[in-house]
Amino acid sequence: MPRIIISAPAFDQGVLFRRNLAHHLVDFRRDGRGRRASLSGSIEHAGGTSRIVIRDFHNPLLVAPSVDCDEEWIRRTPSWHYEDHSSRFCWVLQEEWSKHFKDRKVAGEPVGIRCQDAATWLVQAMQIVLSRHWIGHSVGLFEWPKEWEDYAHGKEGVKEFKEGKFQQ
């Protein structure tokens, strides 16, 4: 189990997120400085191991970080949960992410624990997304199978979330 890091000031969520993410990714590194910085590392999935690049991670408890991967087998189309115009995966619905961390803050959970959860959520979600892209490539799928749980795109996905599509 990864070590939980909670010692940084609450205002520096990006640092806490980055430190917790480092425990999940192989060959983790940071490139650049400030708002243009990116994080990268390798994660395992159904097709092996792939390197992901994470951007926009400075306020991870409000805005879900952007994630990309340069594997040639990635289906770079919206139907495969990839925003081709911005070169990133749709790996989480922003409204779900924001509500989750807002609710946990209201419940009094420490910022370090929330940052650890954010890092874990990102890695686990990307393992699923990359596995599905790999399977799609391997068996020649052109459309995202209906059996694979997901939210619709755009406003329809927000509506599904608000209606509790995946709530138990």
Contact 64, 52 (CB under 8 A): no
pLDDT digits (tens, 9 = 90+) for 106-162: 999 999 999 999 999 999 999 999 999 999 999 999 999 999 988 888 888 889 888
Q: For residue 12, what pLDDT is reported?
A: 85
Contact 4, 112 (CB under 8 A): yes
The arithmetic mean of pLDDT across residues 86-98, rounded, is 92
Residue 153 phi/psi, 5-degree rounding, is -90, 150
pLDDT band at 2 (very low <50, low <70, confident <90, very high): low
Residue 71 phi/psi, 5-degree rounding, is -60, 140
Look up residue 108 and give its two tokens. 């009094």
Contact 51, 70 (CB under 8 A): yes
First to last CA, the chain: 26
Q: How far apart are CA 44 and CA 24, in angstroms?
A: 10
Contact 119, 17 (CB under 8 A): yes
pLDDT digits (tens, 9 = 90+) for 20-50: 999 999 999 999 887 788 999 999 999 999 9
Q: For residue 149, what pLDDT is reported?
A: 85
Q: pTM above 0.75?
A: yes
Partners of residue 42 on adjacent β-strands: 26, 51
